[in-house]
Amino acid sequence: MTGWSCLVTGAGGFLGKRIIHLLVQEEGLQEVRALDKIFTPETKEEFSKLNTKTKVTMIQGDILDAQCLRRTCHGISVVMHVASVIDVHGAIPRQTIMDINLKGTQNLLEACLQDSVPILIYTSSVEVSGPNSYKEIIQDAQEDQHHESMWSAPYPYSKKLAEKAVLKANGSMLRNGGTLYTCALRPTYIFGEGSPFLSSVFNMALKNNGMLPSTAKFSLANPVYVGNVAWAHILASRALRDPNKAPNIQGQFYYISDDSPHQSYDDLNYNLSKEWGFRLDSSLSIPLSLLYWLAFLMEMLSFLLRPVYNYQPLFTRHLLTLSQSVFTVSYKKAQRDLGYEPLFSWEEARQKTAQWIGSLVQQHRGTLKSKTQ
């Protein structure tokens, strides 16, 4: 359990940074290599100020650069593969998403085999499981129920194929004659301070006099706090390095949620921000079935116009299903195998996120003030 090293891909991102903060406190960890395509000046400063004896090495590199991955994996004991492109709006080209999420993962697996890295933990997504239909109600889903996304949309499709590749690689022989052991974590919708998605929602609402967009009032989800997802990665690393626990975890995937109340995405946004005066749009909404047909028509129009014009639908059937379904999962398997218990309560998570939303409000007010001067 001592004298080990860890590589975190996507280390400069929302989740990656939280993993780094927890990881450097781990016993016997000699070095953390933080890999990302770009590190902001703020992230570089944040990592340089970490209070730890562990060596933190920031490596700017591309997950699609096989040679870079080979160099970065050399001498590493554990890889946490967090890097991916998340896109539910169709703003990023399909091939870009498939390349980074799938080909990047395949490159990393090959680097692990060639450089004899014995453990890889893959950050998957609940979207690998669904939901497939807003009409289908799934609550407290468990891993042995084999829920699987049927969408061809690039994000869930690429994550599903990448997770399958990672779990299939479990038990592969390493170049030094050892064995590669893998597992995958499927977090639900991740919230918390620094969330790029929440940032866009609240900045949009601030431009609309604090009115939150109501786009997911029919959903029921169990959101998970970013600190708890990071904690699950730490526990998975401990378990896979423990000879007694590892056999039960190798080649397995785990749903990661916490004790945040099951609620709609609209209610989550409101509950996180109401103390700052944000409010939900209470105007009448279009029936879900009609929205679904509108989405279908927009997708068909996009398909027909593609040879001459890149038309992006306002929303798609996939996005509508994601945002309006009843789909929750249970973390009992992670509790049993990894010893996972949420590190942060709902109230702690809510307060930390609300405090960060307050900083967005202050920034907005400062911007308005400077414009009027």
Could you give the residue numbers annotated as active site? 155
> Residues 237, 238, 243, 244: what is their CA dihedral angle, to the nearest 10 degrees?
-120
User: How far is it, in rounded angstroms, from Cα 362 to Cα 357?
Assistant: 9
Question: If we measure between CA atoms, which residue out of 336, 300, 330, 335 comes closest to residue 316?
Answer: 300
> Residues 186, 339, 112, 9: what is their CA dihedral angle, to the nearest 10 degrees?
60
Segment 240-246 long-range contacts (CB within 8 Å, at least 24 positions apart): 240/78, 240/119, 240/121, 240/181, 240/183, 241/1, 241/4, 241/77, 241/78, 241/119, 242/1, 245/337, 245/338, 246/181
- Phi first, then psi, for residue 186 (nearest 5°) are -110, 85
User: How far is it, in rounded angstroms, from Cα 169 to Cα 183?
Assistant: 10
CA 256 to chain centre: 11
How far apart are the two ends of the chain, measured CA to CA in Å? 59
User: Contact 78/240 with Cβ under 8 angstroms?
Assistant: yes
User: Contact 9/81 with Cβ under 8 angstroms?
Assistant: yes
DSSP H or E segment with residue 141? strand 137-141
User: How far is it, in rounded angstroms, from Cα 373 to Cα 368?
Assistant: 9
Radius of gyration of the chain (CA): 21
22 contacts: CB under 8 Å, gap ≥ 6: 227, 230, 231, 233, 234
Which alpha helices (DSSP H) does 66-153 contain, by range?
66-73, 94-98, 104-114
User: How far is it, in rounded angstroms, from Cα 72 to Cα 67?
Assistant: 9
